[in-house]
A and B are shown apart, each in its own frame.
Chain A
Amino acid sequence: MLSSMLVSGLITGTFYALMALGLTMIFGVLRIVNFAHGEFYMIGGFAYVLLYHSLGVPIVAALPAAVVAGAALGWVVERLLIRPVYAEMGARQQGRDEYAIIVTFALSILLIAAMTKIVGPWSLQGPRLIDGPPLLIAGIRVSPHQLAALGIALFFLLGTLYLLNYSLWGRQIRAVAQNRSAAAVMGVDVGKVSTIVFATAGGLAALAGALLSNMISPSPDVGAFPAIKSYVIIVLGGLGSPLGALIGGLLLGVIENLGAIYISFSYRDTYGLVLLVVILLVRPNGLFGEMRREV
């Protein structure tokens, strides 16, 4: 029982980490929190489900298409709403934070409302990636679908982390996060990096939405909780720290599952808040404040 809950906690945590990684990358590079992050998740879920059910697109094409939809949305949002402010406001921190919170929160409500108008308020279950009888691995029952979803999530999660640390592209992103002007001096197009990061974050969140659409059917407001959990995770891991997002995600997944056994199942979404309060009390800079730079 305990070990199976631990494993399922780690599985849930992987999907949380997928969302939190993008969020923390956006914070690292742009110093803003994207309050519409849950809606990238939602768009990914719907893109996958609707492409499959309404247009008959096969799963192998619908899944990448969902990722592209999320990335495209991220691209547009950065170019249209975030970029101009950076160009205009420069170093004026206060105006920028204010604008970013208002605009991304409004965007979140707009996307939920628009999606409700388009598809209605109800939820639609996504197709399984693979059909088949559940497998028994080390005493834990998992369906082939869950296994495939987990594999894809892990691949993208670790792949992004690998690229961030070892590719030129990733090191440039970290360079912008650590020191924007020095990155510009050495020839990094800071605006382009910001757009790429927003698009990547959108794509990762959309992937999570699509992969989970079979277990949590997408509805227009489905993104609220994944988003809130990723906010908890990025505070837990340290704002702007990719590794912190991974470990924080896994930790939250495990804690929620343990709470579900030992305290109560119906409140499992609330344990994140308790965790958040504890971190703010004990270690406000998070577990890994690596990329944080005091301005």
Chain B
Amino acid sequence: MSAILQLENVTAGYSADIDILRGLNLKVERGSVTGLIGLNGAGKSTVMKSVFGFLRPRIGHVFYNGREITASSPHDLAAKGLWLIPQDGGLFDHMSVETNLRLPIETRRAAAGISRAEIDRRVGDVMQQFPILREKRRQLATRLSGGQRKLLEFAIAHVQRPTLCLIDEPSIGLAPKVAEEVFAHISTLAKTGTSILLVDHNIRKVIEVASYVYVLTLGTVSAEGESSAFRTDLHGQVKEWLGINY
């Protein structure tokens, strides 16, 4: 099995009698960027929560690297090399930018077997890559702008070098120019060998960055395919899958 992440027939929901995900099947191939698109309420964020242990699937299985991780707790998954960039609120507001960068990797140090020197090196690299963060390293995270916060979250993910990174709506609420930058960082992260599952409402950008795309409708996959197949007639296809003019 070469898929890094596989969801098999996953059914999940928040209250006892309402299923948000209904028998969902999905795969993320090792080293690839896989996109997930769908209308609001289709269950995109619920997929993220079900994988990352915040929501226990009622039926079905989740496999990571060929091992079952259904309903594992988030901290166990973090130790196994998974990472999540949530839609919002992934930072510690009352800690400095530098502490936000260091604390996660220091927490995972023992599990990941990383030396302190390696941590310093990685943090240094990231500071090079994100000059704005180096400038504001001593400031509290709460003082950053929305775009800077998102960059910090990507910087933190870079420091982790995760095997698989789930990214939930990274461009939401950002100015187009900053969103551009964010998508560039997704590509950079992918180039370092991290497999990515990407959810975003910006369908055009998702198809551009991802190699394989799933369309989620009411909790199940309604269409899937190589993203190249989507590029040719994006407008017509999106209209057909999602029932909207794009």
Interface residues, chain A, with chain B CB atoms under 8 Å away: 168, 171-172, 174-175, 178-179, 181-191, 290-291, 293
Contacts and interface: CB of A to CB of B under 8 A. Distances in A.
A189 B91 CA distance: 17
A179 B93 contact: yes
A123 B111 CA distance: 50
A187 B53 CA distance: 12
Task: In the A-B complex, list the 3 residue pairs whose CB atoms are closest, starting with the nearest.
Answer: A187-B78, A186-B104, A184-B74
Size category, B interface = 20 to 34
Contacts, number: 70
Nearest to B79: A187
Nearest to B140: A290
A185 B107 contact: no
Interface stretch (B25-33, B82-90, B176-184, B197-205): B82-90
B103 A175 contact: yes
A185 B108 contact: no
Contact of A175 (B52, B74, B89, B95): B95
Given A181-B89, A185-B52, A293-B94, 13 more contacts: A171-B95, A174-B94, A179-B89, A179-B91, A181-B54, A181-B74, A181-B86, A184-B53, A184-B75, A185-B90, A186-B78, A187-B107, A290-B94
Contacts of A182: 86, 89-92
A168 B54 CA distance: 24
B95 A184 contact: no
Contacts of B75: 184, 187-190
Contacts of A291: 94
A171 B104 contact: no
Nearest to B83: A185
Given A172-B103, A185-B52, A178 B95 contact: yes
B106 interface: yes
B93 A293 contact: yes
Contacts of A171: 95, 99, 103
